[in-house]
A and B are shown apart, each in its own frame.
Chain A
Amino acid sequence: MKVRIKFFAILRERAGASEVSKEITDGSTVADLWRQLQRDYPKLDVPGIRLLYAVNQNYVDLDHKLSDNDEVVFVPPVSGG
């Protein structure tokens, strides 16, 4: 199955892309996807960063199971206001 990943802020700069899609195996979790992305884009590994995880615009846990065509965002520490 295929998922879409959007990168923002420091992760967008580190990945050098705003949006990518990736083929993953059925049953993959957000954590599995993050490990694969770090292999594809080694610079995504920002030391000490605390991420949140969003799937289809809702916050989820790392062990959330992904579905085909999900939109996944790894949310760097937010700093609005």
Chain B
Amino acid sequence: MFRVTNQPIDLSELVRYVTDPEAGAIVTFIGTTRNNNEGRKVIALDYEAYPEMAEKELARIGADANNQWPLCRIAIVHRLGPVQIGEASVMIAVSSAHRHAAFAASRFAIEEIKKTVPIWKKEVFEGGEVWIGTQTGQPLPDR
């Protein structure tokens, strides 16, 4: 399962998807929106994607993980649009016969997501907004 979605992500759906009679471990990772970043008070994050390619890249990460570790199944879902503080922006679930592979593959997946998947977050903070990764912060209009 490799998907981007505008809806809140449902962890139980990912866990159901990776549940497998051959598995002895399921590892899940949830990336959440933090209320501060580099000294800024964060109000929300707003995610945008090149959706067709993002899902293709997520699938590529899943295939790479499968080649490196003996996995049963892997699911990665990334949320798009505004994500409020404390909400999940990304969830990963990995099942494997043994825990080591499941932990390693979930770690690999989140690190890869941050490198190659065409998804961008705009941080809306008190006093402005900025595309993370692009150093061009703009003051917000008064509101």
Number of interface residues of B (CB under 8 A): 29
Q: Is the CB of B31 within 8 A of A81?
A: yes
User: Closest CB of chain B to A57's CB: distance in Å?
Assistant: 4
Q: Which residue of A lies closest to B58 (CB)?
A: A80
CB within 8 Å of B: which residues of A?
Answer: 6, 8-10, 12, 46, 48-49, 54, 57, 59, 73, 75-81
The secondary-structure label for the interface of chain A is loop
- B89 sits at the interface (CB 8 A): yes
Q: With A8-B118, A54-B50, A73-B118 given, is the CB distance from A78 to B90 under 8 Å?
A: no
Given A10-B136, A54-B53, A57-B52, A78 contacting B131 (CB threshold 8 A):
no
B114 touches A79 (CB 8 A): yes
List A contacts of B54 (CB < 8 A): 80
- Could you mark each residue 40-64 of chain B with 1 if its beta carbon is under 8 Å from any beta carbon of chain A, else 0? 0000000111101110100000000
B119 touches A75 (CB 8 A): no
Contacts of A57 in B (CB 8 A): 50, 52-53, 56
Whether the pair B90, A80 counts as a contact (CB closer than 8 A) is yes
Tell me if B113 and A80 are in contact (CB < 8 A): yes
